[in-house]
Amino acid sequence: MTIAAPPPVVDAPDEAVHPNDEKVGASVHRVLSAVPTTVLWALVVLWTIPSFGLLVTSLRPGSEQFGSGWWTVVTNPSFTLENYQNALFDPPGGSVPFAEAFLNSFAIAIPGTVVPIAIACAAAYAFAWMDFRGRHWIFIGVLAMMAVPLQMSLIPLQQLYTGGAHLTLFGTTFILFPDLDLNNKPIAVWLAHTAFGLPLAIYLLHNYISSLPKDVFEAARIDGANHFGIFWRIVLPLAKPAIAAFAIFQFLWVWNDYLLALVFLSQNRDASPLTVQLVNLVTSRGQGTELLPAAAFISMIVPLIIFFSLQRYFVRGLLAGSVKG
């Protein structure tokens, strides 16, 4: 509703909006109209308390953490950065320092984001603007694969990584996929993420690229550009918003992933990312419990920075990509 100039009747400004409330005074109406805001902010406080509590706990010395709840800092303030320092560089019991796990997470999340984008951009352009046999059905296959649970791929992928894939036809063995022994290397995880990210990436980028105006392509053709030229100089620059939305979604998906890192990297502790290290700390019971809140925040800092600084793209990618398998 647009707010128009105040009506000339000074003593009953609300009548225009609520003709039925004539007897109700303006002050009562004002109180009532504040109800949604109050309820909403009460819920916001409720929603924020768990994270806020963890943040406060992460800054308290271990002895205090074990003895009393975080809310006691109001009467007994005592803060330290020691937990963060120990978690990052000197965790107890010889576990991997979180500073290293932090880099390991990047080492998986960067290729796990860049590679699928490169592959998907080309495919999305082909599906949107090239004519070839089976295009329709392959694209429906891509849509179907978006919802296929990744649990369906775990065992065969693990076998592919360790043994490769061979096809024996008429006495000759063809190597379809070389026996590279990729298990327990970061590449095992990000290759899997690349494959699982592709259906969504193609879907998102196809939606965007196919909606670009046809005139742009025809004009470029007349100017003598070929498909590769059009793709490189016109499609990629124009598709930047869609690429950014997917990139953020995929990066956070890979960064926050636990299952694939657990399955493909669990025998290699030195390469394991933050999520795996965090759960190790949760289940270790006893040693280093006081570092748990700090460690959790170290694992969340990158997603939170991305969330607060790039929220517009984040929302766009998340909404579009929420059906991912």
Of 230-259, which residues contact other proteins (CB under 8 A)? 231, 252, 255-259
Structure tokens belonging to residue 99: 């500073």
In the complex, the smallest distance separating the C-beta of residue 324 from other proteins, rounded to whole angstroms, is 9
Q: CB-wise, 52 or 219, nearer to other proteins? A: 52
Binding to other proteins in span 1-20, by CB under 8 A:
1, 20
Q: Other CB atoms closer than 10 Å to residue 247's CB: what's the count? A: 19
Structure tokens belonging to residue 228: 């590769």
CA–CA dist 318, 310 (Å, integer):
12
Q: CB-wise, 10 or 37, nearer to other proteins? A: 37
Q: Other CB atoms closer than 10 Å to residue 55's CB: what's the count? A: 16
Instruction: For residue 202, report the phi and psi dihedrals to the nearest 5 degrees.
Output: -65, -45
Q: How many residues can be counted in the chain?
A: 325
5-13, 83-91, 227-235, 239-247 -> range binding other proteins (CB under 8 A): 227-235
In the complex, the smallest distance separating the C-beta of residue 199 from other proteins, rounded to whole angstroms, is 7
Q: Other CB atoms closer than 10 Å to residue 155's CB: what's the count? A: 10
- For CA atoms 87, 91, 95, 97, give the dihedral sign: positive
Q: Please count the residues of this chain forming the interface with other proteins, following the rule CB under 8 A.
A: 120
Q: Are 95 and 280 in contact (CB under 8 A)?
A: yes
Binding to other proteins in span 91-110, by CB under 8 A:
100, 103-104, 106-107, 110
Q: Can you say whether residue 60 is alpha, beta or left, with left for phi > 0 and alpha for psi between -120 and 50 degrees?
A: beta
Does the protein bind other proteins through residue 125 (CB under 8 A)? yes
23-31, 89-97, 217-225, 300-308 -> range binding other proteins (CB under 8 A): 300-308
Does the protein bind other proteins through residue 37 (CB under 8 A)? yes
Q: Other CB atoms closer than 10 Å to residue 268's CB: what's the count? A: 14
Does the protein bind other proteins through residue 53 (CB under 8 A)? yes
- Interface with other proteins (CB under 8 A), residue from 178, 221, 304, 312: 304
In the complex, the smallest distance separating the C-beta of residue 182 from other proteins, rounded to whole angstroms, is 12
- Interface with other proteins (CB under 8 A), residue from 25, 69, 178, 241: 69
CA–CA dist 235, 283 (Å, integer):
48
Q: Other CB atoms closer than 10 Å to residue 5's CB: what's the count? A: 5
Does the protein bind other proteins through residue 54 (CB under 8 A)? yes
Q: % helix / strand / coil in the chain, to the nearest 5?
A: 70, 5, 25
Binding to other proteins in span 258-287, by CB under 8 A:
258-259, 262-263, 271, 275, 278-279, 282-283, 286
- For CA atoms 236, 240, 246, 252, give the dihedral sign: positive
Structure tokens belonging to residue 50: 């768990």
In the complex, the smallest distance separating the C-beta of residue 278 from other proteins, rounded to whole angstroms, is 5
Q: CB-wise, 81 or 177, nearer to other proteins? A: 177
Instruction: For residue 142, report the phi and psi dihedrals to the nearest 5 degrees.
Output: -60, -45
Q: CB-wise, 10 or 80, nearer to other proteins? A: 80
Does the protein bind other proteins through residue 61 (CB under 8 A)? no
- Interface with other proteins (CB under 8 A), residue from 150, 220, 236, 244: 150
In the complex, the smallest distance separating the C-beta of residue 11 from other proteins, rounded to whole angstroms, is 22
Instruction: Give the x-and-dash track for 164-193 against other proteins (CB under 8 A).
Output: -x----------xx--------xx---xx-
